[in-house]
Amino acid sequence: MTFLRDALLVAGKDLRIERRSRVALQQIVPFGGIVVMLFAFALDSDRTLLRQAAPGLFWAAVLLAVLLAVGRSFSIEEANRARDGLRLSGLDGGSIFLGKAAAVAVELFLLEVIVGAAVVVLYDVSIRGVVVLLCAAVAATLGLAATGTVYGVLAGGLRARETLVPLLVLPAVMPVMLGATRSFQAALDGTPGDAWPWVQLLIAFAVLAVTAGTVAFGPLLEEA
Amino acid sequence: MLGRFPALAGADLEVDTGEVVLLSGPNGAGKTTLLRLCAGLLALRAGEAEVLGVDLAVEPRRVRRAVALVGHETFCYDDLTVAENVRFVARSTGHTTADADGALEQVGLARVMNVAHGRLSQGQRRRLSLANALARKPLLLLLDEPHAGLDEHGREVLEEVVRAAPGAGCTVLLASHELDLARRLATREVRIVAGQVHPMPVAPAPTAPAAQAAPVEPELEART
Amino acid sequence: MKRLFLATTVVALGVTAVFALWVTPPRAEQGFDAVRLLYLHVPTAWIAYLAFGITALASLLWLVPRTRDTAWDLLAGASAEVGVVFTALTLLLGSLWGRPAWGTWWEWDARLTTTAILFFLYLGYLALRRTGATSDERGKRSAIAALIAFADVPVNYLSVTWWQTLHQQGTVFNKNLNVQIDGSMAFTLILAVVAFTLLYGYLVLERFQLAQLEEGREARELELAIAERLRTEHSEVVPA
């Protein structure tokens, strides 16, 4: 199907740019790490408190990193009027959306692994319920990447884009924050069964976000 | 429309297949707007426009794949190499890597295939824009000030491309201030002033091959 | 016509005030007058969500090509501006009422939290409206943003509900649809809702008409510009 092939083409393009420029690896991942430390200072490096709050703090750091990742995903389209180039390519808006969202998702997974390791080490967390953790993380990441990409194109080219996107994205992804945090909490507490309703919520959110993006991206890419 | 002001009001133009039409006129007259309109990038506010058989008022996006726009910006990604950029253009418009590489040969950029776009000189970027256009195998070639920034060799390349176009069934609209150079290439000249189109006396016809009969005659008429 | 509307609104609000402040009794179990805040809090909450619904509906009507009209875009904006104020009021009143009832200024219960998220969704939407260049561009982007936010609210509510439940469960209606509070209180509450809806309608009407005037002025400027363009430089064609 050309639709998926085109999406892969766009995703490949974005990931290749990342491999060359290494912005996610050298800037966004460290940002995630710094935020993790920030929280430790905020909570007075209280061991017990940090361990208890770890799921929430981890996902808060990820949510903030998403904003940077999405910002980057669209700033590469600003130079040289590449955005017009995308429009002229005749690629279907839905394909471009899936491609860009997929690239952001891949970068996010990478970030989650590294920042997750930092959380485990710095907050003294023991990993349990790996299956639940993975399922929740995958669904949450897809939802975040999709939502971020929609708002990224929606605010693309507007004045004050950098401050507008965070304000638009964060209230919209609260369900992901709740679902991911509760799932992780349940897994780490040793009661993974409690996580499943939350994982379902995350999956539903991801499906909605991807659908909305596939439909809305094309029209939003146009100038008026 | 440029912001709140109409860029083209009262423009009447008809172009046949295989013609090379020169658009002359002062800055801000509406030449770029006309070209972007033909590329399907701008929305038609009033009047009629039909390009390659497609009604621009109804579905402007359909023309995009058959059209190539060469403007001031390259629509490329600074972190990717010349080859990667052109191949992306080719593959996203349904053509092959071979088409892309061929286009690079044609404009003489094969030597710098693996150089990052961000490191190209102005003249090289202009030629890259031409390569991008050629890789799409367009039926309508829209050139916006193509002579600017090109050196001697680049101008030769441009001339070859424009002369070869009608033979490939491609029509050319060329907006330029370099009237001496451009008039040599054009079959017809049209002057655009303050958004209105004024035909000019026909220049001596260059030795261009006869236009091939196309299944649909491209017609452009935008009138308020 | 508008004056009649305004008059009706004022009267309705006045009657509500009378009922709320004098006619109904203070709530026995919670034993204080602050329950009267309910007559403000419930209507403002209703308006907060109604306004958002109207914004979403108007956005949808704008997006559908057949019904597209700048008026829908202006209505969406007007409703959102009124709505954000009522949302802020809802949060404020909820907090004021909650203090004596719960002992804290804030509780993370489902309804209040969802309303807080709604407040931020409004703010984002209104900020977005201020950055669009042309009215078409603004209309499209804010319409899509409004619809996404509208779809997001129930998802938010669902997740927050699963997460916390403390808010007074259905003060007016419980599962069996029996009215739980007594006669005069229920009547006053409904009266308040009606009065506030009228107030909302009036405010949106005013704001909408103001927006229309602004649009009209821009359209006239555009027409003047076109006329200028067609008239001047007509003789500027100089053969090379």
What is the DSSP secondary structure assignment for residue C150, as one 8-state letter?
Answer: H
Q: Is 70 exceeded by the pLDDT of residue B7?
A: no
- Token pair of A137 as six digits: 């993380």
Give the neighbours of chain A: at least 3 Cβ pairs within 8 Å.
B, C
Q: Is 70 exceeded by the pLDDT of residue A186?
A: yes
Instruction: Using DSSP, state whether B50 is helix, strand or coil.
Output: strand
* CB within 8 Å: B80 and A224: no
What is the DSSP secondary structure assignment for residue B211, as one 8-state letter?
Answer: P
Per-residue pLDDT tens digits for B169-211: 888 988 888 888 888 888 888 887 766 667 776 544 443 333 3
Chains A, C: CB contacts within 8 A come to 77
Phi, psi angle pair for A75, to nearest 5°: -70, -25
- Specify the pLDDT at position C167: 37
Q: Lowest-pLDDT range, A34-48, C74-88, C104-118?
A: C104-118
Please enumerate in sequence order all residues whose Cβ is within 8 A of that of C146, keeping only pairs 6 or more positions apart, or say none: C55, C56, C59, C76, C80, C125
Q: Is 90 exceeded by the pLDDT of residue C48?
A: yes
Q: Is the dihedral of CA A41, A47, A51, A53 positive or negative?
A: negative
- Specify the pLDDT at position C102: 72
The fraction of chain B above a pLDDT of 90, given in percent, is 26
Segment A46-66 mean pLDDT: 94
Rounded-to-integer distance, Cα C50 and Cα C57, Å:
10
- Specify the pLDDT at position C235: 46
Q: Is 60 exceeded by the pLDDT of residue A30?
A: yes
Rounded-to-integer distance, Cα B174 and Cα B155, Å:
14
Q: Is 90 exceeded by the pLDDT of residue C234?
A: no
What is the DSSP secondary structure assignment for residue C172, as one 8-state letter?
Answer: S
* CB within 8 Å: B195 and C229: yes
Q: Is 70 exceeded by the pLDDT of residue B214?
A: no
Nearest CA distance, C43 vs chain B (angstrom): 41
Phi-psi region of B73 (alpha: psi -120 to 50; beta: other; left: phi over 0): beta
* CB within 8 Å: A90 and B65: yes
Phi-psi region of A4 (alpha: psi -120 to 50; beta: other; left: phi over 0): alpha
* CATH superfamily entry for domain B11-214+216-222: P-loop containing nucleotide triphosphate hydrolases (3.40.50.300)
Give the chain B residue whose CA is nearest to the CA of C237.
B193
- Token pair of B82 as six digits: 């010349």
- Specify the pLDDT at position C181: 60
Q: Is 60 exceeded by the pLDDT of residue B3?
A: no
- pTM for this structure? 0.86
- Specify the pLDDT at position A160: 83
3-state secondary structure string, A141-195? HHHHHHHHHHHHHHCCCCCCHHHHHHHHHHHHCHHHHHHHHHHHHHHHCCCHHHH
What is the DSSP secondary structure assignment for residue B2, as one 8-state letter?
Answer: B
* CB within 8 Å: C128 and A182: no
Residue extents of the structural domains in chain C: 2-231
Q: What radius of gyration do chain A's Cα atoms show?
A: 18
Segment A8-36 mean pLDDT: 94
Among B20, B132, B39, smallest CA distance to B82 is for B132
Would you give the distance in Å from CA C189 to the centre of its chain? 19
- Specify the pLDDT at position C86: 95
Q: Is 80 exceeded by the pLDDT of residue B64?
A: yes
Q: Lowest-pLDDT range, A83-97, B123-137, C160-174?
A: C160-174
* CB within 8 Å: A89 and B80: no
What is the DSSP secondary structure assignment for residue C178, as one 8-state letter?
Answer: -
Q: Which of B22, B188, B193, B202 to mutate to test the interface with C (most CBs of C within 10 A)?
A: B193
Please report where in the chains the tokens 């390259």 appear, as a residue: B74
- Specify the pLDDT at position B21: 84
Residue C230 — pLDDT band, cuts 50, 70, 90? low
Phi, psi angle pair for C37, to nearest 5°: -60, -25
User: Quick check: B136 and B129 in contact, CB under 8 A?
Assistant: no
B204 at the C interface (CB within 8 A)? no
Q: Is 60 exceeded by the pLDDT of residue C238?
A: no
Residue C24 — pLDDT band, cuts 50, 70, 90? low
Rounded-to-integer distance, Cα A16 and Cα A24, Å:
12
User: What is the C-alpha end-to-end distance of chain B, expressed in Å?
Assistant: 13
Segment A45-67 mean pLDDT: 93
Chains A, B: CB contacts within 8 A come to 66
Q: For all residues of chain A together, what is the average pLDDT?
A: 93
Rounded-to-integer distance, Cα B30 and Cα B2, Å:
10
- Specify the pLDDT at position B208: 34
- Specify the pLDDT at position C16: 77
Give the chain C residue whose CA is nearest to the CA of A154.
C141
* CB within 8 Å: A168 and C124: yes
Please report where in the chains the tokens 């034993």 appear, as a residue: C31
CB-based burial of residue B55 (10 Å sphere; 0-12 exposed, 13-18 middle, 19+ buried)?
middle
Per-residue pLDDT tens digits for B114-150: 999 999 998 899 999 999 999 999 989 999 988 888 8
Its ipTM equals 0.89
Q: Is 90 exceeded by the pLDDT of residue A15?
A: yes
Rounded-to-integer distance, Cα A77 and Cα B76, Å:
9
Q: Which of residues 11-30 of B touch C (CB under 8 A)?
A: 24
Q: Contacts of residue B88 in chain A, CB cutoff 8 Å?
A: 9, 13
Residue A222 — pLDDT band, cuts 50, 70, 90? confident
* CB within 8 Å: A172 and C149: yes
User: Quick check: A183 and A137 in contact, CB under 8 A?
Assistant: no
User: Quick check: A63 and A144 in contact, CB under 8 A?
Assistant: yes
Q: For all residues of chain B together, what is the average pLDDT?
A: 79
Q: Is 60 exceeded by the pLDDT of residue C177?
A: no
**B20-24 and B196-199 strand pairing:** unpaired
Q: Is 70 exceeded by the pLDDT of residue A53?
A: yes
Please enumerate in sequence order all residues whose Cβ is within 8 A of that of B182, keeping only pairs 6 or more positions apart, or say none: B22, B24, B147, B174, B176
Nearest CA distance, B101 vs chain A (angstrom): 17
Q: Contacts of residue A20 in chain B, CB cutoff 8 Å?
A: 79-80, 116
User: Quick check: A56 and A176 in contact, CB under 8 A?
Assistant: no
* CB-closest option in A164, A167, A220 to C144: A220
Instruction: Using DSSP, state whether C64 is helix, strand or coil.
Output: coil
Among C41, C112, C50, smallest CA distance to C79 is for C50
Q: Which residue has the higher pLDDT, B76 or B56?
A: B76
Half-sphere exposure of A42 (CA within 13 A, CB side): 9
Q: Give the number of other Cβ atoms within 10 Å of residue C21's Cβ.
A: 12
* CB-closest option in B3, B179, B194 to C229: B194
Q: Is 80 exceeded by the pLDDT of residue C100?
A: no
Nearest CA distance, C195 vs chain B (angstrom): 41
The full DSSP string for B24-38 is E--TTSSHHHHHHHH
Q: Lowest-pLDDT range, B149-158, B215-224, C104-113?
A: B215-224
The full DSSP string for chain A is -HHHHHHHHHHHHHHHHHHHH-HIIIIIHHHHHHHHHHHHHHTTT-HHHHHHHHHHHHHHHHHHHHHHHHHHHHHTTTGGGHHHHHHHTT--HHHHHHHHHHHHHHHHHHHHHHHHHHHHHHTT-----HHHHHHHHHHHHHHHHHHHHHHHHHSTTSTTHHHHHHHHHHHHTHHHHHHHHHHHHHHHTT-GGGGHHHHHHHHHHHHHHHHHHHHHHHHHHS--
Residue C35 — pLDDT band, cuts 50, 70, 90? low
Segment C199-207 mean pLDDT: 91
* CB within 8 Å: B9 and C133: no
